[in-house]
Structure formats: structure tokens, C-alpha cells
């Protein structure tokens, strides 16, 4: 029974992965999870100017350039010369490919065929089959099939030719792309006329172009993909020198790679407040009212990165790179040398003519080309003026996630409206996504408007919670401590006056302390001198006493010797005369003590 199930599964293709043909279009292969279905048919639908033909031709060019696959392009609407002229804006090298691997067929019908209104695709398909065998084509594009179908008189005839085409494609096992207009002038108002085509094909991609606040916005959506999953929703697209680019949502998983390495902001005071700088790969949001030096802080970060030899991308909206460099140079930030060396690349975009999605694609192209390690976007809030706010928010979040996935250290500035220092939120609501949030504000007091800097959040760091005054000078930025007086923060002149007052008080305290120190040192020296004098006087008295004691003993010894000699001369007892001077001295001392005791008893009245 198990063997039977395996045979059945093998015959039905269960468990096999649907083969896909990569389009080579950045972003589309990601949302389609690999490209278009291989050897099957894809229908590309959309209004005029949405990029259907570019998508089909770019897919054909990508297969020829990257996979050396030959292909056939059948044009029902444009002539071949116009197609080549339009493709010349891209770096595809289409003429060279046309000579090697691509074949272009001009299938525009003549007025005679249109007059009769009765024709079929049999002859054309026979010619294409012969060409396929000749060049070994593996893919084919039918561009503008709606033009052909519109010339047929009845819906029955249209359906007949479509099924004829489907059967031919199935038999030839070609990877096919069919483009058709919907919703435009001269085309069907909706897909109902050719609705059966959507059921016939295996993959359907819808292109759309709409106006949002006066700015054209292009998007595409995969609405059908048999046998494969795909990313749902609409995705913005843009056109660059390499062709069409689609903004994919990026990785769905949160990257696990983190770094403990720090990168300086270029501002020593801010690095200290952040506990050592920014973490590598982190995103930092600098918000503030106009003129609070957001761009200056961003410029310091870019200059610091370039000084470390790191490739940096500086993106500015609504302000040209020349103007940005001139303004930064006025405060001591010179980016010219880094721009010349190639470490710094600047991109400037206008937000009144380009939609946020296209800006996202252009920035992504800049990042892919320059491969920066640090990126500055100034200000990201400008995107909110170009279209729907929800779209700008999505673009801002997607941009931050993209840079974070690439482990790029990013500094983003955003404008907040009003002078209220408590108004910290931005319209883009990207503060919750950013790792660090630095708020710049004004404090108006005492007839002055002064800048203040505070760190609202800094993930993973023990950052300062202090409000510091941000001072802008000709030599750059500086941070000053602020004073609180009566519950209010003092800045500017009031801070200067407070500093002068504090300095005067400190000088007075230092002078008083020095005077007191000198007085105590003098008293200490005086006491020490007197102690030394008394010590010398004590030594002198001790020496005198010892001398006196020796003289007194000597006098008694001499007296005893004279008495002994006198006795000897007078014939006294020889024993007494033989007494040694020491014994006489001992007796003298005992006699002395006895006299002393007698004197004491006499004083006590004994």
C-alpha cells in the first residue's frame, strides 16, 4: 500500500517544488519567492504607463544575460524601433542581445487585416514555432495582446484565439509572459472582457499607477500564483538605470546579529551622554523643531565616520548636497575632502515630485552601489509631505529595517512641529522603531531662545537623563550644564550670570579657605617652635642637674680623703683610714638619707 502511494505521488507531482524562472528584477523575485512559473504562462495586467512592457522585456533580457537563454518578443502595439529606443535608457545592451539570443517580431496588424476583422493566430504561431526551433528559445513575450483581441469582432472569436495561444504555449513548453492593458483609454475598462485569461494562466501580476497628492505612484501586486506561495499586498516599483526595481518588504525574521562595538557620533559631549557612543548597526532618531541643529549633529556623525575610514551615505531631502556642505562648513564640518576621496556619497531628492516608494527604491540603489557602513537621512519626515501619511510611515519603517538588516549604523533626523519642548513625537511614528532617540528643543526665557538636548531613549546603554544646553559656535557644537533655579532651567545669559555668580562665590570661598589654611599653618609652626624651645630648656636643666650631682659627690669624696689623711697623720685607726672612697660615699649617702628622714619626721612633729 505504501509503495502504491509513492507511485501515485510521483505521477501526480505531489511533493515536487514548482520550478521557477528568475526575472532578474530586484525585489520581484523576493515577493514571488523565486520568479515566474517556469514553462507556464503569466499574465501581466495594468493601465497604460504602469511598466508592463518593461517588466516583460527586462525578464527576457535577464534570462538572456544571466542564464544564456534565448527568447522571443512579439510586439502587438509598439514597433520594434520604438522598443529599442525606449530600452536604450537602461544599461541592458539590448542591440547586442538581439543579435545573439533575442528575436523581436513586429506583430502589428496592417489596416487590411483590421478591415476584414476575420483572422487568427495560426500563421503567426507557426512562424514562432520555427523561430523557437531555430534559436532554441525557452521564453516568449506577447506584448499588448489586448490590441490584437480588440480587433476581433466577437467575444467568441477572442476566446478562440486565446485558447489557441494557450494550447500552443503548452505544447511548446515555453515560459510565457502575456501583457494586457486594463482601465486605460482605448482599452477595456476592467478585466471583465478578458477575465477568462486570468483563469487560463498560472500567474497574474497586476500593475497600477495612481496619483497621490499630485505625485504619480506605481505599484504591482501578485494576485494569483498556482502552486506557489507569494508575498501578498501591493509593492511600490520604480525605474532606474538598470531597469525596474520593486521594493520588497525584506526579511520577515528579526535579525539576531548584534554588536557591542561603539561608533562615535563625532560629538564628545553626546558620546559621554550615550555612555560611549552608538552601537554598531543601531538606528538613531534626532527630532526637533526647525533650526535646532539636527543637520549639524548628522553632519558631525558623517564626518566622524569618514575620518574612521568608513564608507558613508548622506541622504538629504529638499536640499542639495552643495548647500548641505556649505552650511556644515560654516560650523567647522568639512565634508569636501571625504567626498573627493569617495568615502562619502551624497544623494539629494525632491519630495514634491517623487513619491516615497520611489525614494525608498533610489536610496536602496544607493546603498547597494556604495555599500556604506554609516548612513545619514536628513530629514526623513520630508517623506510625509509627498503622499499618504500611512505610506510614508511604512516607507520610513521599511527603510530603518533594511538598514538594520544590513548592519548599517544610521542617523535619521525628523522634524517636529511647534516650539513646545514636550512635543517629541513625529508624524512618521518611527521613534518606536529607532534604537536611540535624541530630542532637540528650544527654551525661551529671559528674552532668549536657546537650544536644549536630551536623550529620550538609548537601548542597551546607561544614558544621561540630563537636559543640556546645545551651543552652536563658529568652531562647532558644545554642550553646557544647565542650572535649575526655583524649579526652572536656566540657559543662555541667565546660565552665564549664574556661572559668573557661582565662580565669584567659589573664588571667595577659595580665598577664605587659603587664609584660614595659612593661619592654621602659622599656629602649627608657632606651637612646634615653642615645643622645641621647651624641649631644649628641659635638656639644659637635666644636664645642669647631672653636673651638679657629680660635683657634689666629688666634693664629699675629697672631704673624706682629707679627713683620712688627717687621721693618719694624727695616728687614727688604720681601719678607718683604709676605707675606700666608695664606702665613704655610701655612708655619706646613707647619712644624707637619714638626715632627710629626720627632717621629714621633724616636720611631722615626731
As a whole number of angstroms, the distance between CA 190 and CA 194 comes to 8
**Confidence class of residue 496 from pLDDT cuts 50, 70 and 90?**
confident
Q: CB under 8 Å to 68, separation ≥6 — which residues?
A: 101
Q: Judge whether residue 589 has pLDDT over 80.
A: no
SS3 content of the chain, % helix, strand, coil (to 5): 45, 25, 30
Rounded (5°) CA angle 12-30-25: 110
Q: CB under 8 Å to 298, separation ≥6 — which residues?
A: 286, 314, 376, 378, 411, 413
What pLDDT was estimated at residue 515?
Answer: 93
As a whole number of angstroms, the distance between CA 58 and CA 66 comes to 12
What would the mean pLDDT of 132-146 be, rounded to a whole number? Answer: 90
Peptide bond preceding 379: is omega within 30 degrees of 0, i.e. cis? yes
Cα end-to-end span (Å), the chain: 144
**Confidence class of residue 486 from pLDDT cuts 50, 70 and 90?**
low
DSSP run (H or E) holding 480: strand 476-480
Residue 320, all three cell numbers: 542639495
Q: Judge whether residue 480 has pLDDT over 90.
A: no
Q: Judge whether residue 499 has pLDDT over 90.
A: no
Question: What phi and psi, each to the nearest 5 degrees, are found at residue 253?
Answer: -90, 150
Question: DSSP assignment, residue 380?
Answer: G
What pLDDT was estimated at residue 7?
Answer: 38
As a whole number of angstroms, the distance between CA 606 and CA 68 comes to 145
Which of the given ranges, 115-124, 297-306, 555-564, has the highest pLDDT on average? Answer: 297-306
Contact predicate 490/484, CB 8 Å: yes
DSSP run (H or E) holding 222: strand 215-225
What pLDDT was estimated at residue 190?
Answer: 44
CA-based radius of gyration for the chain: 50
As a whole number of angstroms, the distance between CA 155 and CA 161 comes to 10
What pLDDT was estimated at residue 245?
Answer: 83
As a whole number of angstroms, the distance between CA 565 and CA 562 comes to 5
Q: Judge whether residue 192 has pLDDT over 60.
A: no
Residue bearing the bigger pLDDT, 39 or 398: 39
Dihedral Cα 88, 183, 141, 162, nearest 10 deg: -160
As a whole number of angstroms, the distance between CA 287 and CA 309 comes to 27
What would the mean pLDDT of 501-513 be, rounded to a whole number? Answer: 90
As a whole number of angstroms, the distance between CA 172 and CA 131 comes to 12
What pLDDT was estimated at residue 420?
Answer: 56
Cβ atoms within 10 Å, residue 119: 17
- 3-class secondary structure, 466: coil
Q: CB under 8 Å to 356, separation ≥6 — which residues?
A: 236, 383, 386, 387, 391, 392, 395
Q: Please state whether the predicted TM-score (pTM) of the whole model is above 0.75.
A: no
Residue bearing the bigger pLDDT, 441 or 1: 441
- 3-class secondary structure, 120: coil
**Confidence class of residue 77 from pLDDT cuts 50, 70 and 90?**
confident
Which of the given ranges, 404-413, 418-427, 590-599, has the highest pLDDT on average? Answer: 404-413
Q: Judge whether residue 104 has pLDDT over 50.
A: yes
Q: Judge whether residue 591 has pLDDT over 80.
A: no
What pLDDT was estimated at residue 541?
Answer: 93
**Confidence class of residue 204 from pLDDT cuts 50, 70 and 90?**
very high
Mean per-residue pLDDT over the chain, rounded: 81
Rounded (5°) CA angle 257-259-264: 140
Q: Which alpha helices (H) appear in 13-78, and where do they start and end?
A: 28-31, 52-67
Of 52, 38, 28, 54, the C-alpha closest to 231 is 28
pLDDT, one tens digit per residue, over 336-369 is 999 999 999 999 888 777 777 778 878 888 888 8
Q: Percentage of the chain surpassing pLDDT 70?
A: 81
pLDDT, one tens digit per residue, over 217-239 is 788 999 999 988 888 888 888 88
Q: Judge whether residue 261 has pLDDT over 70.
A: yes
**Confidence class of residue 191 from pLDDT cuts 50, 70 and 90?**
very low
As a whole number of angstroms, the distance between CA 269 and CA 271 comes to 5
Amino acid at each position: 500500500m505504501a509503495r502504491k502511494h509513492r507511485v501515485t505521488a510521483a505521477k501526480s507531482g505531489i511533493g515536487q517544488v514548482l520550478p521557477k524562472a528568475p526575472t532578474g528584477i530586484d525585489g520581484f523575485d523576493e515577493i514571488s519567492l523565486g520568479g515566474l512559473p517556469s514553462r507556464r504562462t503569466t499574465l501581466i495586467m495594468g493601465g497604460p504607463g504602469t511598466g508592463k512592457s518593461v517588466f516583460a522585456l527586462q525578464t527576457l533580457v535577464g534570462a538572456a544575460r544571466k542564464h544564456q537563454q534565448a527568447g522571443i518578443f512579439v510586439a502587438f502595439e509598439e514597433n520594434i524601433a520604438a522598443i529599442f529606443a525606449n530600452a536604450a535608457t537602461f544599461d541592458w545592451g539590448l542591440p547586442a542581445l538581439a543579435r545573439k539570443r533575442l528575436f523581436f517580431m513586429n506583430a502589428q496588424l496592417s489596416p487590411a487585416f483590421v478591415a476584414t476583422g476575420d483572422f487568427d493566430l495560426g500563421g503567426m504561431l507557426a512562424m514562432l514555432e520555427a523561430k523557437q526551433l531555430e534559436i532554441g528559445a525557452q521564453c516568449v513575450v506577447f506584448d499588448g495582446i489586448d490590441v490584437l483581441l480588440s480587433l476581433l469582432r466577437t467575444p467568441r472569436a477572442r476566446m478562440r484565439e486565446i485558447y489557441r495561444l494557450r494550447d500552443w504555449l503548452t505544447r511548446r513548453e515555453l515560459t510565457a509572459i502575456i501583457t494586457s492593458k486594463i482601465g486605460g483609454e482605448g482599452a477595456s475598462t476592467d478585466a471583465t472582457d478578458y477575465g477568462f485569461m486570468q483563469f487560463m494562466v498560472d500567474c497574474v501580476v497586476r500593475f497600477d499607477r495612481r496619483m497621490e497628492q499630485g505625485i504619480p505612484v506605481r505599484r504591482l501586486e501578485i494576485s494569483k500564483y498556482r502552486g506557489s506561495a507569494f508575498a501578498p499586498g501591493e509593492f511600490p516599483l520604480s525605474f532606474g538605470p538598470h531597469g525596474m526595481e520593486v521594493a520588497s518588504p525584506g526579511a520577515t525574521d528579526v535579525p539576531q546579529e548584534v554588536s557591542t562595538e561603539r561608533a562615535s557620533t563625532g560629538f564628545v559631549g553626546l558620546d559621554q551622554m550615550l555612555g560611549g557612543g552608538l552601537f554598531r548597526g543601531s538606528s538613531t532618531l534626532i527630532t526637533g523643531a526647525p533650526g535646532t541643529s539636527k543637520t549639524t549633529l548628522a553632519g558631525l556623525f558623517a564626518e566622524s565616520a569618514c575620518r574612521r575610514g568608513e564608507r558613508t551615505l548622506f541622504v538629504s531631502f529638499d536640499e542639495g548636497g552643495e548647500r548641505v556642505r556649505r552650511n556644515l562648513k560654516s560650523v567647522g564640518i568639512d565634508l569636501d575632502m571625504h567626498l573627493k576621496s569617495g568615502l562619502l556619497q551624497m544623494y539629494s531628492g525632491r519630495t514634491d515630485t517623487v513619491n516615497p516608494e520611489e525614494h525608498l527604491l533610489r536610496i536602496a540603489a544607493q546603498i547597494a552601489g556604495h555599500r556604506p557602513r554609516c548612513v545619514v537621512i536628513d530629514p526623513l519626515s520630508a517623506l510625509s509631505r509627498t503622499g499618504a501619511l500611512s505610506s510614508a510611515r511604512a516607507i520610513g519603517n521599511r527603510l530603518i529595517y533594511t538598514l538594520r538588516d544590513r548592519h548599517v549604523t544610521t542617523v535619521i533626523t525628523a522634524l517636529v512641529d511647534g516650539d513646545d519642548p514636550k512635543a517629541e513625537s513625529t508624524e512618521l511614528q518611527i521613534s518606536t522603531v529607532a534604537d536611540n532617540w535624541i530630542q532637540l528643543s528650544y527654551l525661551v526665557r529671559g528674552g532668549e531662545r536657546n537650544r536644549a538636548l536630551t536623550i529620550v531613549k538609548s537601548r542597551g546603554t546607561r544614558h544621561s537623563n540630563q537636559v543640556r544646553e546645545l551651543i552652536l559656535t563658529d568652531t562647532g557644537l558644545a554642550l553646557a550644564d544647565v542650572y535649575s533655579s526655583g524649579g526652572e532651567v536656566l540657559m543662555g545669559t541667565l546660565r552665564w550670570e549664574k556661572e559668573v555668580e557661582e565662580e565669584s562665590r567659589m573664588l571667595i570661598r577659595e580665598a577664605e579657605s587659603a587664609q584660614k589654611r595659612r593661619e592654621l599653618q602659622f599656629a602649627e609652626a608657632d606651637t612646634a617652635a615653642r615645643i622645641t624651645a621647651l624641649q631644649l630648656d628641659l635638656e639644659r636643666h637635666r644636664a645642669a642637674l647631672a653636673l651638679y650631682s657629680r660635683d657634689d659627690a666629688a666634693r664629699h669624696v675629697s672631704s673624706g680623703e682629707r679627713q683620712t689623711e688627717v687621721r693618719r697623720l694624727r695616728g687614727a685607726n688604720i681601719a678607718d683610714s683604709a676605707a675606700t672612697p666608695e664606702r665613704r660615699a655610701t655612708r655619706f649617702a646613707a647619712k644624707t638619707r637619714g638626715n632627710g628622714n629626720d627632717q621629714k619626721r621633724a616636720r611631722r612633729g615626731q
